[in-house]
Amino acid sequence: MLVTGGAGFLGHPLVCGLAALGEQVVSFDRLTRGSFPPSVTEIAGDITDGARLEHVLRTYAVTEVVHAAAVVGVTASVAGLPAAVNVNVDGAVALFEAVCRVGGVRRVVDLSSEETYGHFVRDPIREDDPALPVSPYGITKYAVERLGEYYADQHGLPYAAVRLCWVYGPGFPRRRLPHPWLQDAAGGLASRLARGGDQRIDFTYVDDAIDGILLVLNAERLGHRAYNVATGHAVGLRELAAEIAQLRPGWQVDLGDGPLEMAPGVAAARKGALDITRARALGYAPRVPLSEGLARILSGLEAGHPLTQGSHP
Ligand SMILES: NC(=O)c1ccc[n+]([C@@H]2O[C@H](COP(=O)([O-])OP(=O)(O)OC[C@H]3O[C@@H](n4cnc5c(N)ncnc54)[C@H](O)[C@@H]3O)[C@@H](O)[C@H]2O)c1
């Protein structure tokens, strides 16, 4: 089992979860964590290095791949568009080529995003609804999906995309809601956000995202090439604020109307819930309600747990 991006927010719990199930897991990431169980092989490498990936696939006789290495998020993709294209698109192609050259892999699960949809044309949105991404990040993620389908059709790549949405949880490495508000609430500070009161998001707790990824990875047969993995329910940012205020009644946010601003001058796409009917048919059932996920992170922050602090403020 190979997890690219294994040192990341989603990659790390995936690697640890798979290792706990007795899988021989190789983590391949630009960064090393040094905090995996002893059975895990941790390799430092660049996802665009196809020769290295080929060597890893052969050496460890890899039969499954979860592809999580990426430049992640609209903000990062706006700040460094060429790097996002290089890592996300060239990196995925390097991986797909290596998998096709080596053979023996039964499934490649690509962690994709609700950003592929651009402005949602429906709420909840379905996997076969139009995908017209508007952010550089969404465009790279959609390009990877289309390339994955091309490699599947032309070269037999056993490709499946899991479209995740605003996964949150301990150790989330970016300043994206709900984390900044939770950090303020845990620190006894009020929050302020100039715009975003009209934004709706299908926030997904990390444990649920991992459950869905593993179901797509392990299903004997897949009827589709893309699966939404979220909760199936969107909340507005004012509802999110109300949930946090209920957990920590002293906390307040001054929140302006309109869509959320992801980067200076870059508004978030219009979003909503993701239809999870396909994932449900594989046995997926999200287990962590928003209030519980928020409460877990708040408790971790207040206990000073290092995993809940976020590594890139
Ligand atoms: N977290 C979310 O809310 C979310 C939502 C939708 C999709 N996704 C997707 O899930 C995947 C994992 O996201 P995450 O939240 O864990 O992000 P993350 O930033 O924590 O993890 C990405 C990992 O990729 C690694 N990486 C970056 N460039 C690399 C390179 N050139 N070579 C090798 N490794 C490299 C990073 O070191 C990092 O460990 C990504 O594909 C992301 O697009 C995440």
How many folded domains does the chain comprise? 2
Q: Is residue 208 part of a domain?
A: yes
Nearest CA to ligand 1 atom 24: 69
**113 CB near ligand 1 (under 6 Å):** yes
Judge if 173 and 256 occupy the same domain: yes
Q: What 3-state DSSP class applies to 261? A: strand
Query: What pLDDT does 306 receive?
Result: 57
Provide the domain limits for residue 92. 2-166+203-229
Query: What pLDDT does 35 receive?
Result: 87
Judge if 266 and 149 occupy the same domain: no
* Contact between 23 and 1 (Cβ < 8 Å): yes
Q: Is residue 279 part of a domain?
A: no
Nearest to residue 167, comparing CAs of 309, 293, 18?
A: 293
Looking at the DSSP bridge assignments, the partners of residue 255 are: 193
Judge if 103 and 247 occupy the same domain: no
Percent of the chain with pLDDT over 70: 97
Q: What 3-state DSSP class applies to 101? A: helix
* 220 or 262: which leads in pLDDT: 220
Backbone angles phi, psi at 18, to 5 degrees: -65, -40
Q: Is residue 282 part of a domain?
A: no
**206 CB near ligand 1 (under 6 Å):** no
Judge if 44 and 159 occupy the same domain: yes
CATH value at residue 261? 3.90.25.10
Overall residue count recorded for the chain in this entry:
313
**173 CB near ligand 1 (under 6 Å):** yes
Backbone angles phi, psi at 36, to 5 degrees: -90, 160
Nearest CA to ligand 1 atom 26: 69
Judge if 144 and 184 occupy the same domain: no
Query: What pLDDT does 263 receive?
Result: 83
Q: Is residue 281 part of a domain?
A: no
On average, the pLDDT of the chain sits at 95
Residue 137: pLDDT over 50: yes
Judge if 174 and 218 occupy the same domain: no
55 pLDDT band (50/70/90 cuts)?
very high
Judge if 246 and 215 occupy the same domain: no
Integer angstrom CA distances of residue 301 from 208, 242, 276: 20, 19, 30
Q: Is residue 277 part of a domain?
A: no
The rounded distance, in Å, linking the Cα atoms of 190 and 22 is 45
Judge if 16 and 99 occupy the same domain: yes
Where are the alpha helices (H) located in 107-178, listed in sequence order? 136-155
Q: Is residue 85 part of a domain?
A: yes
Residue 218: pLDDT over 60: yes
Q: How many CB atoms lie within 10 A of CB 292?
A: 12
304 pLDDT band (50/70/90 cuts)?
confident
Show Cβ contacts of residue 306 under 8 Å, excluding neighbours closer than 6 positions: none
- Give catalytic residue positions: 137
Q: Looking at beta carbons, which pairs linking 306-311 to residues 24 or more positions away fall under 8 Å?
A: 307/170, 307/171, 308/170, 308/171, 309/171, 310/171, 310/172, 310/173, 310/174, 310/175, 310/179, 310/183, 311/171, 311/173
**8 CB near ligand 1 (under 6 Å):** yes
Judge if 195 and 211 occupy the same domain: no
Judge if 241 and 189 occupy the same domain: yes
Looking at the DSSP bridge assignments, the partners of residue 42 are: 27
**DSSP secondary structure letter of residue 286:** -
* Cα–ligand 1 centroid distance for 73 (angstroms): 9
CATH value at residue 131? 3.40.50.720
Judge if 61 and 98 occupy the same domain: yes
Query: What pLDDT does 265 receive?
Result: 86
* Cα–ligand 1 centroid distance for 250 (angstroms): 34
Where are the alpha helices (H) located in the chain, listed in sequence order? 11-20, 50-59, 74-79, 81-84, 91-102, 136-155, 179-186, 206-218, 237-247, 277-281, 290-302
* Cα–ligand 1 centroid distance for 115 (angstroms): 14
